[in-house]
């Protein structure tokens, strides 16, 4: 290559490097698909139970999930491989993905609900038919390891998915109220904690802590921190530019939470956000025999205060009894001083 040509090539490469790094950090070079909302669920609709991640080993959770959904007025169908098992997984990758594809393709099914979380959802993402899902948008719900499928489906199709109750979780009045409002009544929900202090003078749980005040708007993206960080740089990561990031976690040592947040920072995610909502970090402690570790509060301060965007912690999201139904991908407004998330439009049509 001639010297002048080489000089022009190097200059062009240098100019393109920041954009390339940003695209790689975002996990998707292509433009995000337009927002897509599923039809609202109605009494008499059929909900398919799927198991995209871990296996269940007892019968009672299936019975409880079915009875709970029937009490909401739904018909219930088990996906063909719902009770399959392969090690810790609910069947092979092919079986789990086939159930997702088949239930989206079936015109008699109006929504898909995951039975449980666990692990393994990432493994089947390449086998999901995202074009099919975009042609047949439906309710898709779950949380924890379902973070992988919820975000992948939104990133590839634009469909708003739902981080909320699993089939095997507790169907209490608070959780049912928020699920019903978001996906059946199509309400522009306001997600605000309701601490239950009982006979105490001040509530000890479901408290809001404002790390940095302010109001922000953007698409709501996120879920379980470990699962989300494990997707870093992949084609199944959504675009985080201007997003409101929500995170929850369970049973992780604090140093691991710190390391996973560093992954989001190094991937460029944290620097592109409009705001942050931290849900429950359940049983996330220092670990046995640990000395001098940072507290969870200090880890959050280190990573989120310097961002210069609104941040609050304590939202009723995650591995807790009473939980919000959170629409992944929907434009929302967060108020870090009030500790609220407001839908800017209904999450379903």
Catalytic residue numbers, as ranges? 144, 248, 319
CA 180 to each of CA 6, 38, 75, 313: distance values in angstroms, whole numbers, following the listed order: 62, 14, 15, 25
Beta bridge partners of 200: none
Beta bridge partners of 221: 245
**CB within 8 A of 76, min separation 6: which ones?**
46, 47, 48, 49, 65, 66, 69, 70
Helix ranges restricted to H, 184-326: 225-230, 254-266, 296-304
- Residue 251 CB neighbours (<10 A): 12
CA 285 to each of CA 246, 263, 290, 299: distance values in angstroms, whole numbers, following the listed order: 20, 20, 10, 12
> For residue 42, which of 167, 159, 139 has the smallest C-alpha distance?
139
Beta bridge partners of 159: 36
Beta bridge partners of 249: 281
CA gap 245, 257 in Å, rounded: 15
**CB within 8 A of 295, min separation 6: which ones?**
254
CA gap 147, 30 in Å, rounded: 21
Cα 117 to its chain centre, rounded Å, is 12
220 phi and psi angles, rounded to 5 deg: -90, 115
Determine the length of the chain: 349
Task: Report whether 223 contacts 245 (CB < 8 A).
Answer: no
């Amino acid at each position: 290559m001639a010297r002048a040509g080489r000089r022009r090539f190097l200059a062009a490469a240098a100019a393109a490097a920041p954009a390339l790094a940003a695209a790689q950090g975002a996990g998707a070079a292509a433009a995000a698909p337009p927002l897509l909302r599923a039809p609202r669920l109605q009494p008499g609709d059929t909900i398919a139970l799927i198991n995209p991640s871990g296996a269940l080993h007892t019968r009672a959770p299936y019975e409880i999930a079915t009875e709970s959904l029937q009490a909401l007025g739904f018909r219930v169908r088990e996906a063909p491989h719902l009770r399959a098992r392969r090690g810790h997984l609910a069947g092979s990758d092919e079986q789990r993905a086939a159930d997702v594809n088949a239930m989206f393709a079936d015109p008699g099914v109006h929504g898909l609900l995951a039975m449980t979380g666990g692990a393994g959802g990432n493994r089947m993402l390449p086998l999901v038919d995202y074009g099919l899902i975009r042609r047949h948008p439906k309710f898709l719900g779950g949380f924890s390891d379902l973070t992988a499928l919820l975000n992948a489906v939104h990133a590839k199709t634009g469909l708003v998915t739902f981080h909320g109750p699993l089939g095997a979780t507790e169907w209490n009045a608070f959780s049912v109220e928020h699920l019903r409002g978001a996906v059946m009544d199509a309400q522009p929900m306001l997600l605000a904690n309701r601490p239950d202090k009982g006979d105490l003078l001040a509530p000890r749980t479901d408290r809001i802590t404002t790390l940095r005040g302010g109001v922000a708007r953007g698409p709501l993206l996120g879920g379980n921190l470990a699962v989300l960080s494990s997707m870093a740089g992949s084609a199944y990561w959504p675009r985080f530019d201007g997003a409101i990031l929500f995170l929850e976690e369970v049973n992780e040592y604090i140093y691991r939470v710190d390391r996973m947040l560093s992954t989001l920072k190094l991937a460029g995610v944290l620097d592109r956000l409009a705001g942050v909502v931290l849900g429950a970090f359940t049983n996330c402690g220092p670990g046995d025999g640990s000395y001098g570790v940072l507290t969870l509060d200090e880890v959050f301060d280190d990573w989120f205060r310097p961002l210069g965007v609104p941040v609050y912690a304590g939202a009723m999201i995650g591995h807790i009894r009473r939980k919000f139904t959170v629409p992944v991908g929907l434009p929302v407004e967060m108020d870090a001083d009030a500790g609220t998330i407001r839908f800017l439009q209904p999450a379903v049509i």
